[in-house]
Chains A and B, each alone.
Chain A
Amino acid sequence: MGDKTGEKKDVWQGTLALMVLKTVQSMGPLHGYGIARRIEQTSGDLLLVNYGTLYPALLKLEQEGYISSGWGFSDNNRKAKYYKLTRAGRKQLNKEEREWEQTTAILARFLSPGEERS
């Protein structure tokens, strides 16, 4: 990832964090592979070219205390690292959801045809 895609990376990283939190909330504790797969599915296969990009993001969320990790076993008895939402994470998720909705609403007003004055 060179400098040219840096900007894009930042934007996606911000939304990626939100997506991770939402995934973990709705799916419950999940390992890295599962989260990646789920995000891919939910976004209609438009995102996450490389699954590897997820891990730094997971680390950041964990460092900030929004998710916590622990080792566990998958269905096939495969050892994997599971992530789950913390209380702080839940609060952050709610907050960001609200903010996104607000943003979308405001933008919608600008972008959709409506009462125009001119």
Chain B
Amino acid sequence: MRRLRGWFSRLGAMFGRRRREGELDAEMESHLQLHIEDNLRMGMSPAQARREAIMKLGGIEQTKENYRERRGLPVLETLVQDIRFGGRMLRKNPGFTCIAVLTLALGIGANTAIFSVVNTVLLQQLPMPEPNRVMVIHRYEGSSLPYPEFLDLQAQNQSFELLALHRRGSVNLTGAGEPERVVVRMVSPDFFPIVGLQPLLGRTFRKEDDHLGAAPVVLLSEGLWRRKFGADAKLVGTSIIVDGQACAVIGIVPGLPKLFAQTDVFYPIDQWSEPSFRERGGGLGSVGLARLKSGVTLPQARADLRRIAGNLALAYPKQDAELKFSALPFRDANLGNLQRVLLLLFGAVGFVLLIACANVANLLLARSTSRQRELAARIALGATRTRIVSQLLTETLMLSILGGGLGLGLAVWGTRAMVVAAPAGMLPGEGAAIDLRVLLFTLLLSVLTGAIFGLIPALKASRFDVQTTLKEGGRGGSGAHHRAQGVLVVSEVALAMVLLVGSGLLIRSLERAWAVSPGFDPHNTLTFSIALSPDKARSAAKTREMYVQLIDGLKSLPGADSASVVFGNLPFTGDSDIFLYREDRPKPDKDTDMADALWYEVGPDYLRAMRIALQRGRFFSPQDAEGAPLVAVINDGLARKLFPNEDPLGKTLHLQFFEESVQIIGVAGTVKHFGLDAPPDADNQLQLYLSFRQTPDRLVALLAKDSFVVVRTSGRQTNLFDAVRQQVRAVDNEQVLYGLSTMDQLLDGSLAFRRFSMLLLGVFAALALLLASVGIYGVISNLVGQRTHEIGVRIALGAQRGDVLRLLLGHGVSLDLLGVVLGVAAALPLMRLLGSQLFGVTPADPLTFGGVAVLLTGVVLLACYIPARRAMRVDPMVALRYE
């Protein structure tokens, strides 16, 4: 108990130390005086009295030391002392401190930010039960899975625990406030257990709900429920009007992971009344989703699918001959390219971290050489090795903590910046949070680097020849030190080289992609989607007429040059394709032997609105309307494929799906439908234009559900937005207009991903360059400091300033060249990993490699020049005296 009191007392004594120190002095002084008085009384002379008193008191300093030790907690006190000393040392060398702290902060911050985002994108995408067992089922490589085939799969498969079909579309929501166009996902009932969706209210679909003619039911997403219906719990059980049909709301489901997050309404897929949906060999954008039975592997499932495909091919030779199913893990199907890019960034980040650590190590090594003298002096004055080691360790830890703290701030900011800069839809709604594990890992790594390289001087200190060091003035930086520094610098340069080459290649790829002509003029063109209010009573003729009215109205707007409606696909959106064949040749037996073209049903002004080149023949005119002979315009790709040596004009094509024959009246230029950077694959670029007024009656309603309009303007498009909206409303009050934007924006968006990864890698490359040049600067600067004496001697002996410069620059350049060569050697195989990210450049593009090498060497030379110039200005008289 008493001892505890003692400890507390000692703890408290850490404060107010100066006061107590003064008290002790006073007490000692008074002790002496009392003793001296006694001595005087005993008859000694004043001098004798004093001497005797002092001798009897014993060693004052020793007493004070013992007193101090007893009074406070020495361990804590030395720690505080170390911290203060460390702080002073760091403040005295602001350059070193700043660089070291910044380097650490950048390494830690960048790492954490990237890891956090990557983690969010790669891992948090799939909060469904057993995500690794969820598969996406397509027909062929990525085509839609038709409903009858889906039913067959359900009946015949042996590998899936659950199998569902889903398809995305959009519907009009009316009767509740503003009419709105919302995203619908038509699903079979098993969709919900596979994805792990539990209803917040009500229930999900059952088998009884999912067939044609059952009572119409819908599920709403939580987002829509909150936004439009104010989270009204009584909504369940009431009905809302979806595409003109009253549907009962039977439940509310929570928002899904990013991929399905935009779904507002769920609808049973088998209730869809679209007749072509149930055609064998059809599809209409449906995709299968399945969960593997436990114990079944992916190869086994694929074998099972092959078996079923074989069965169906025999049973339905007309539609399902050569049928194949594909099964892909959900993660790969939806991330694929993204995953690869992010892993690439992982690598980049690793490089930067390495460079940062190498830099810090370098800095510490450099500093250790300059502190040898200080350490030698301290040893000579009696410091124990433990004290020195602990003090140096404290110093390095302070550095690491400062760097870590700044790095944390950088990580937070960096994560937020990345979330803002990321292309839309890449990250889930809530953004990305910092991953603590990575923060700790990078922090640990930095601290370790600091500790190891910071301790080197201390560990060497014990083996010092103190005398020699003191005499030499600490100039004897051992060869091992310099070699180590050299190695570190060379590796930094090599790493930076790799990153710079990578980013250079990506920059060139982007530049090449931008240079590609899209095949049309995206400037001054605005586009939007439109959905006529579903009116079952409206005839196909009336629908067509409404569109014509709309286009005429739009064309009459001031500032509008031309306009056209587009059914089917708009460049950069959609991938609807149809099979077709030449009517003057025998019909191919199987669909897959036919040409597969993207189709666009457009108005007469389309080519003009999009400024697509017309190569031969003519485009549509107002006469190509209902009742007139069916016509079509093909692109040059289709012309080359089907009519390699003949004139396609006047020939007839038979179209599947439309089930009609059309006559070719013109050939148009090719549009880069899948983006500027799509691989130039001949099959992608088969395009067919049809006159929208000649759409078969039975398809009008279906196609009108998702149609586009393009308007070319002669000036700033944004001014027309309101006018356009008014025009749309004038034609039909209940129409919904959405997706209003400009073609420029769509084009931009198609390259957004490429731009983002280029930006990211570019930032890392710049970081690497900065760090590497700082590293070299540090090393050369240190070298200059070390060799000032030697330089002074050289100059005194007649060397020219230029010679000195050459000496130092030469050293720097040789390090740099070695690094560049190593970097090139490393980069050549690594750049191949960039794979599909590259566009228009080879992985070994000599221009990029050469340019980067020159850039790197230039920067390094600059970094060497600054300290070298300092060396040149050395006054030999000063240098020779310099200790």
Contacts and interface: CB of A to CB of B under 8 A. Distances in A.
Q: Do A and B come from one complex?
A: yes
Interface in A10-35: 31-34
Interface string B67-85: 1011100000000000000
A78 B37 contact: yes
Contacts of B2: 64-66, 88
A56 B67 contact: yes
A62 B3 CA distance: 11
A63 B9 contact: yes
Interface string A1-12: 100000000000
B482 interface: no
Contacts of A76: 37
Interface stretch (B54-62, B319-327, B765-773, B871-879): B54-62
A53 B56 CA distance: 10
A100 interface: no
A33 B3 contact: no
A52 B30 contact: no
A108 interface: no
A76 B63 CA distance: 26
B58 A53 contact: yes
A14 to B, nearest CB: 14
A105 B323 CA distance: 109
Contact of A51 (B5, B23, B33, B58): B58
A1 to B, nearest CB: 8
Contacts, number: 78
Contact of B59 (A50, A80, A81, A88): A50
B33 A78 contact: yes
B6 interface: yes
Contacts of B63: 50, 52-53, 55-56
B325 to A, nearest CB: 84
B459 interface: no
Given A31-B34, A56-B63, A51 B56 contact: yes
A56 B70 CA distance: 7
Contacts of B56: 50-51
A79 interface: yes
B645 interface: no
A78 B32 CA distance: 11
Given A56-B70, A59-B67, A80 B5 contact: no
A23 B721 CA distance: 102
A71 to B, nearest CB: 8
B37 A60 contact: no
Contacts of B30: 31, 33, 78-81
Contact of A32 (B3, B31, B38, B58): B31
Contacts of A34: 34
Contacts of A60: 6, 70
A65 B4 CA distance: 11
Contacts of B10: 63
Nearest to B59: A52
Interface residues of B, number: 30
B302 interface: no
Contacts of A49: 58
Interface in B453-482: none
Contacts of B93: none
A102 interface: no
A59 B34 contact: no
Contacts of A51: 31, 35, 56-58
A79 B9 CA distance: 25
B58 to A, nearest CB: 3
B73 to A, nearest CB: 12
B238 interface: no
Given A53-B63, A55-B67, A59-B71, A64 B58 contact: no
B16 to A, nearest CB: 15
B27 interface: yes
B517 interface: no
B621 interface: no
A74 interface: yes
Contacts of A80: 27, 30-31, 34
A81 B70 contact: no
Contacts of B66: 53, 55-56
A16 to B, nearest CB: 13
A64 B67 contact: no
A94 B24 CA distance: 30
Nearest to B32: A33
A80 B37 CA distance: 13
A36 to B, nearest CB: 8
Contacts of A65: 2, 5
B842 to A, nearest CB: 74
B58 A50 contact: yes
A76 B41 CA distance: 12
A37 B53 CA distance: 12
B610 to A, nearest CB: 92
Nearest to B4: A64
A66 B2 CA distance: 9
Most buried by B among A33, A53, A81: A33
17 contacts: A31-B34, A32-B27, A33-B31, A50-B59, A51-B58, A52-B57, A52-B60, A52-B62, A52-B63, A55-B24, A55-B27, A63-B10, A64-B5, A65-B5, A76-B37, A80-B27, A81-B26
Given A33-B31, A53-B58, A63-B9, 4 more contacts: A52-B58, A55-B24, A60-B6, A79-B26
The 3 closest A-B pairs by CB, nearest first: A50-B58, A52-B63, A52-B58
